């Protein structure tokens, strides 16, 4: 199950998991994109489910998990890829903007983990991967985003302490750099950028890691990216 599927990393993760033989639930707010991607994954011969839901709304995420379980079976992998950024510094950020950013990154991740954990606990195995950012470990200019990503990192660490002994691999990925969205205006061609397909390979390594040598956290950045700048 992948929460917040867009044309970059989310889509690459869906394709990679499908090629591995996984049934994939694609969750996002944009129905047109995930429906198209769902058809693409089905053409690979794997069941794929497109679910419209907002990561900031607990009831919608809980319903998405319930539908995934009903149509695809017990959930073995959760990838929470959702984030939001709004406001501009302390005086330029409203309480509503701050809360919404937290609801997407931190509350949404908590709800997704709580709703999917019973399947993994029952099976004694599974993986939860949370997409962080440089702001997870170092405050930046986006006050709301940075604080929410700090919270997400703390949530992942706490979940690891609780769930690793039950056979569930919890990992947090620090993404330090732009993600290449294949021609999108958001990607500056002069900047070093992460290849989402290669990022998906790294996520799959986390999913498939042997429990004798699990990773709690690692950083992904293009080779020309300056560290935490």
Q: Which domains, and CATH codes, for the chain?
A: 2-220 (3.40.50.720)
**Full-model pTM:** 0.91
Contact in structure between 56 and 108 (CB atoms under 8 Å): yes
Take residue 101 and report the two structure tokens written for it: 């950013």
Average pLDDT value for residue range 31-56: 94
- pLDDT score of 178: 85
Average pLDDT value for residue range 26-55: 94
Contact in structure between 146 and 135 (CB atoms under 8 Å): yes
Average pLDDT value for residue range 1-27: 95
Start-to-end Cα distance in the chain: 32
Is the model's pLDDT at 184 over the cut of 60? Answer: no
Average pLDDT value for residue range 147-169: 97
**Burial of residue 122, with CB atoms counted within 10 A of its CB: 0-12 exposed, 13-18 middle, 19 or more buried:** exposed
pLDDT, the chain, mean? 91
CA pair distance 133, 150, nearest whole angstrom: 9
3-state secondary structure of 4: coil
- pLDDT score of 185: 42
Q: What is the pLDDT of residues 63-106, one digit of tens each?
A: 999 999 999 999 999 999 998 877 788 888 899 999 999 999 99
Is the model's pLDDT at 60 over the cut of 60? Answer: yes
Annotate 126-145 with b (16+ C-beta within 10 A) or e (fewer).
bbbbbbbbbbbbeeeebbbb
Contact in structure between 167 and 124 (CB atoms under 8 Å): yes
pLDDT range class, residue 161, cuts 50, 70, 90: very high
Share above pLDDT 90 across residues of the chain, in percent, rounded to a whole number: 75
């Amino acid at each position: 199950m992948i929460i917040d599927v867009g044309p970059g990393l989310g889509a690459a993760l869906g394709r990679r998991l499908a090629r591995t033989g996984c049934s994939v639930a694609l969750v996002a707010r944009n129905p047109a994109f995930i429906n198209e991607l769902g058809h693409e994954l089905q053409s690979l011969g794997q069941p794929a489910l497109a679910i419209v839901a907002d990561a900031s709304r607990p009831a919608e995420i809980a319903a998405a998990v319930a539908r995934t379980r009903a149509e695809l079976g017990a959930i073995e992998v959760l990838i929470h890829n959702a984030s939001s950024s709004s406001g501009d510094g302390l005086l330029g950020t409203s309480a509503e903007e701050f809360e919404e950013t937290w609801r997407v990154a931190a509350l949404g991740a908590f709800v997704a983990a709580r709703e999917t954990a019973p399947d993994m606990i029952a099976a004694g195995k599974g993986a939860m991967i949370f997409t962080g950012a440089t702001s997870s470990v170092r405050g930046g200019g986006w006050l709301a985003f940075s604080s929410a990503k700090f919270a997400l990192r703390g949530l992942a660490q706490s979940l690891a302490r609780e769930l690793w002994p039950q056979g569930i691999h919890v990992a947090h990925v620090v993404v330090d750099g732009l993600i290449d969205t294949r021609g999108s205006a958001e990607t500056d061609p002069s900047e070093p950028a992460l290849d989402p397909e290669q990022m998906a390979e790294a996520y799959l390594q986390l999913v498939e890691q042997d429990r004798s040598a699990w990773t709690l956290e690692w950083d992904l950045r293009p080779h020309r990216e300056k560290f935490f700048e």
